[in-house]
Homo-oligomer: A and B are copies of this chain.
Amino acid sequence: MTPAAAPATDPLAPRLRWFGWGPPTPPGAPEMDLPPEADPLLHELGAADVHQHPVALEDVRLAPSTLDTAPFAAVVGEDAVRTDRLTRVAHAAGRSYLDLVRLRAGDASGAPDAVVHPGSPEQVAELLALCDRLDVAVVPFGGGTSVVGGVNPQRGGHRAAVTLDLGRLDRLVSVDRVSLTATAQAGMTGPALESALAEHGLTLGHHPQSFEFSTVGGWAATRSAGQASTGYGAIAELVAGLRCATPAGEIVCRPLPATAAGPDLRQLVIGSEGALGVITEVTLRVRPAPAVRRYEAWTFPSFAAGAEALRTLAQAAAAPDVARLSDEEEVRMNRLVAAHAAAAPEGQVAAIFGWEGDAEDVERRAARSARVARAHGGRTDPGDGGEQWRAGRYAAPYLRDVLLNRGVLAETLETAGEWSRLGELRTAVTGALQATLGARGTPPLVLCHISHLYADGASLYFTVLAAQQLGAEAEQWHAAKAAATEAMLAHGGTVSHHHAVGRDHAPWLADEIGAAGLDALRAAKGRLDPHGIMNPGVLGL
């Protein structure tokens, strides 16, 4: 029924290589390596001597699929139901550090029994009804870029699991130039969406680091925030309407600028991570494509001074559209590997500011931002650091694959908190990571930046680098992750600013939203998904 290996021209072929980031590479293609400038980093981490590589696809451990695919083929067509090794392995996990560790070691034991590619919202609804009848768990799959276990199939007691890959739902359904809204099918990737909008002179401006692969539906399902969310808004603000297929019927939130008709159902579906249903269409608030994009590098005398500048900018409604501030350790790391723009002179920290719009608008807003930033000791960096940052804004996950080859644990975590507790929050999370990994004999580098501003607070994004405990990678990272997450909760933070909950954060959701809140979500799920087939384990529901 399925081809033994999907040819490159197969429109249903996996879009990410099965063991890491980026598009599939031909077998045997040379792997990028770390630049020699990174040697001091490897030495500092104590990970200089490792050279390891993923197992071959044929050696990946994969349970046989026992699912009868005929009923699925009857809905979507034979070619749109895949059970071949590559497809199943490529849908076995998301792209967290431990996902990659497991995949590279040849563990795809959680792979779905089949991957089904619906071609329309109606087919999605039919498939949910079918799975409900056949007692099959359903994992909605957009770009597969989850870093919190959001697409890792769990059977949840059901007899099989299928992944619904929404890649065929790749159409811009309609554009309303007057209202500045556009309706997109859920499977459109960032580049597909932006290029379709560009034909109308429009943009969404939503650029998460996963932009190249992640999808409209995935953004909404995970409550995503793009790198320019300070200016363009996070996805929760950009969604005017949506359609979500559930086993109990479709939820349709008509596009509306605002409504007081009860609780906001949009905000129940946004962030529901496939646990209630499958988002099939999203009406997005778009904007005229900017004529000018201006990105600058800035320096500040300290992280505290820079943070105070960002707070003032956000509270004065004078913030750039992109505003990122690296802490001392992130700046030191950038300086060390010299691969990143956000470096800064010794004793200074670095920031990236970006403004997008028409020329006059950018000029005016940049001047306002600059006035505030200078009052807090900010200085523009004369180089082209801003443009360098923009050019490399999606690069980090590629680098992680290479670090894994060299035995380096490389993972990120993020939180958000009120300005009054942000310093405390950063110290606590950094300290928890250092203490936990230090106690295991793998003292880490913990880098941090602020990258999303609000009047009342900001996000904190942490990058952790340490020598892998080979053979005990999971225990090592689980200990660090638990300590960091508990530090977030104890110091006014949330367990996630934009990575979502997935399965990895689910144990902490009750601490985050309380027992009554979790109960309310469970009840809603119980009604919309009475047999619990939707993405079992996600959100802990």
Interface 0/1 of A443-458, CB less than 8 Å to B: 0000000001011111
Knowing A181-B418, A418-B179, the reply to whether A513 touches B262 (Cβ < 8 A) is: yes
Contact of A267 among B257, B267, B459 (CB under 8 A): B267
Given A520-B528, A522-B527, A509 and B250 touching (CB < 8 A)? no
**Chain A, 517-539, CB within 8 A of any chain B CB:** 517, 519-524, 526-528, 539
Identify which of A240, A250, A257, A273 gathers the most chain B CB atoms within 10 Å of its CB.
A257
Residues of B within 8 A of A117 (CB): none
CA distance A78 to B454 in the complex (A): 46
Query: A420: which B residues are within 8 A, CB to CB?
Result: 176, 178-179
Given A515-B249, A528-B519, are A456 and B255 also a contact pair (CB < 8 Å)? yes
A257 CA to B181 CA in the complex, in Å? 25
A262 and B272 form a contact (CB under 8 A): yes
**A482-504 near B? 1/0 per residue, CB < 8 Å:** 00000000001011111111000
On whether the beta carbons of A513 and B261 are closer than 8 Å, the reply is yes
Cα–Cα distance between A180 and B492 once the two chains are bound (Å): 15
CB of A472 closer than 8 Å to a CB of B: no
CA distance A12 to B120 in the complex (A): 59
CB distance A268 to B271 under 8 Å? no
A95 at the interface (CB under 8 A from B): no
* Smallest beta-carbon distance A221→chain B, Å: 10
Residues A250 and B514 in contact, CB atoms below 8 Å apart: yes
Interface presence of A416 (CB below 8 A)? yes
Contact flags A254-289 to B (C-beta < 8 A → 1, else 0): 111111111111111111110010000000010100
Separation of A488 and B236 alpha carbons in the complex (Å): 25
A179 and B419: CB pair below 8 A?
Answer: yes
Q: Whole-angstrom distance between the alpha carbons of A171 and B257 in the complex?
A: 33
Q: Is the CB of A456 within 8 A of B257?
A: yes
**Which of A258, A276, A496, A526 is most buried by chain B, counting CB atoms within 10 A of its CB?**
A258
Question: How far, in whole Å, are A514 and B311 apart by their CA atoms in the complex?
Answer: 41
Any chain B CB within 8 A of the CB of A344? no
Interface string of A426-456 (1 = CB under 8 A from B): 0000000000000000000000000010111
A527, B520: Cα distance in complex, Å: 6
CA distance A419 to B181 in the complex (A): 10
Complex alpha-carbon distance, A527 and B256, angstroms: 29
A515 to B389, CA, bound (A): 47
Q: Are A457 and B256 in contact (CB under 8 A)?
A: yes
Cβ-closest chain B residue relative to A272: B263
Asked if A160 lies at the interface with its beta carbon under 8 angstroms from chain B, I say no
Pair A519/B248 contact, Cβ less than 8 Å:
yes
Copies, count:
2
A485–B515 Cα distance when bound, in Å, is: 38
| Distance from A322 Cβ to chain B, minimum over Cβ atoms (Å) | 16
Instruction: Say yes or no: A251-B520 contact (C-beta < 8 A), given A257-B416, A418-B256.
Output: yes
Known: A264-B271, A523-B526. A492 touches B455 (CB 8 A): no
Q: A253-B513, A420-B178, A523-B527 are in contact. Are A268 and B258 (CB under 8 A)?
A: no
Contact flag A269-B263 (CB < 8 Å), given A456-B240, A520-B528, A524-B523:
yes
Question: Is A257 a contact of B457 with CB atoms below 8 Å?
Answer: yes
Q: How many angstroms from the CA of A272 to the CA of B248 in the assembled complex?
A: 22
Q: Please judge, given known A-B contacts A263-B269, A263-B270, whether A458 and B516 are in contact too, CB under 8 Å.
A: no
Roughly how many angstroms separate A526 CA and B287 CA in the complex, as a whole number? Answer: 41
Write the nearest CB–CB distance from A72 to chain B, whole angstroms. 23
Q: Contacts of A206 on B, CB cut-off 8 Å?
A: none
- Residue of B254, B418, B513, B514 near A257 (CB, 8 A) is B418
Q: Does A381 contact B (CB under 8 A)?
A: no
A2 lies within 8 A of chain B by Cβ:
no
Residues A285-321 near B (CB distance < 8 A): 285, 287, 311, 315
- Interface pick from A24-32, A133-141, A222-230, A334-342: A222-230
Taking the complex as formed, is A369 at the interface, i.e. its CB lies under 8 A from any CB of chain B?
no
Minimum CB distance partner of A505 in chain B: B261
Q: With contacts A179-B419, A240-B456, A524-B520 known, is A501 near B261, CB below 8 A?
A: yes
A495 to B286, CA, bound (A): 25
Complex contacts, A524 vs chain B, CB 8 Å = 263, 520-521, 523-524
10 tightest A-B CB contacts, nearest first = A257-B457, A523-B527, A267-B267, A257-B454, A259-B494, A223-B260, A179-B418, A178-B420, A249-B516, A264-B267
Instruction: Give me 13 A-to-B residue pairs in the complex whose CB atoms sit less than 8 angstroms apart, sorted by A's number.
Output: A178-B418, A179-B457, A181-B418, A223-B264, A246-B516, A250-B514, A259-B497, A260-B271, A261-B496, A265-B517, A265-B521, A268-B268, A285-B455
- Beyond the given A256-B416, A257-B457, A523-B524, could you list 11 further A-B residue pairs with CB under 8 A, ordered by the A residue number? A176-B420, A180-B455, A181-B418, A223-B264, A251-B514, A251-B516, A257-B416, A258-B452, A259-B416, A259-B512, A523-B526
